[in-house]
Structure 1
Amino acid sequence: MDPRGLLRRAGLEVEASPVPLHGGDISRVFRLGPYVVKVAEGAPSGLFPAEAEGLRALGARGVRVPRVVWVGEEGLVLEYLPEGPPDWEALARMLADLHRRREPAYAAPPGFLGTFPLPGREGGEWTEFFYLRAVEPLLRATWDLLEGLGPKVESLFRKPLPTEGPAPLHGDLWHGNLRFTPQGPALLDPSFFVGERGVDLAMMRLFGGFPEAFWRAYRALYPIPQEVERALPRYQVYYLLAHVHFFGKAYLAPLWKVIFAS
Structure 2
Amino acid sequence: MWHALSLHLSEQLDIDFEIREKTAIGGGDIHDAYCISDGGEQRFFVKTNQRECLPAFEAEAEGLRQLAMSEHIHVPRVYFVGPVKDSAALVLNFLPIKSLDDTQAYLFGQQLARHHRRGEQVEYGFDDDNFIGTSEQRNSWHRKWCHFFAEQRIGWQLQLAAEKSLHLGDIDTIIHGVKAQLANHRPKPALLHGDLWSGNVGLSVNGPVLFDPACYWGDREADIAMTELFGGFPQSFYNGYQAEWPLDEGYQQRKDIYNLYHVLNHVNLFGGPYLAQAEQLLTKLTLTV
Normalised by the length of structure 2, the TM-score is 0.82
Query: Given the alignment, which residue of 88, 95, 108 partners 2:105?
Result: 88
- Asked whether the equivalents of residues 21 and 31 of structure 1 are also in contact (C-alpha less than 8 Å), the reply is no
- Asked whether the equivalents of residues 195 and 226 of structure 2 are also in contact (C-alpha less than 8 Å), the reply is yes
* Amino acid in the other structure paired with 2:125: A
- Asked whether the equivalents of residues 28 and 40 of structure 1 are also in contact (C-alpha less than 8 Å), the reply is yes
* Amino acid in the other structure paired with 1:214: F
Identical-pair percentage: 32
Normalised by the length of structure 1, the TM-score is 0.90
Matches within 5 A, 1:1-262: 5-11=4-10, 12-23=17-28, 25-33=29-37, 34-41=43-50, 43-62=52-71, 63-73=73-83, 74-83=88-97, 86=100, 87-105=104-122, 106-108=124-126, 109-143=128-162, 144-151=164-171, 153-161=174-182, 162-262=185-285
Q: Tell me the CA shift for residue 19 of structure 1.
A: 3.0
Larger displacement relative to structure 2 (119-128 or 143-152): 143-152
- Asked whether the equivalents of residues 84 and 182 of structure 1 are also in contact (C-alpha less than 8 Å), the reply is no
Q: Tell me the CA shift for residue 84 of structure 1.
A: 5.3
* Amino acid in the other structure paired with 2:96: P
Name the larger-Rg structure: 2
* Amino acid in the other structure paired with 1:149: G
Give the 3-state SS of the residue equivalent to 2:22 in structure 1.
coil
- 1:7 and 1:232 map into 2 onto residues whose CA distance is 45
What are structure 2's unaligned runs of at least 5 residues?
A: 11-16, 38-42
Structure 1 vs Structure 2 CA RMSD: 2.1
Classify 1:19/1:218 alpha carbon distance in 2 versus 1 (closer, same or farther; 3 Å). same
Q: Tell me the CA shift for residue 228 of structure 1.
A: 2.2
Q: Tell me the CA shift for residue 131 of structure 1.
A: 2.3
- Asked whether the equivalents of residues 156 and 234 of structure 1 are also in contact (C-alpha less than 8 Å), the reply is no
Q: Tell me the CA shift for residue 157 of structure 1.
A: 1.4
Q: Tell me the CA shift for residue 127 of structure 1.
A: 1.0
Q: Tell me the CA shift for residue 150 of structure 1.
A: 4.6
- Asked whether the equivalents of residues 103 and 194 of structure 1 are also in contact (C-alpha less than 8 Å), the reply is no
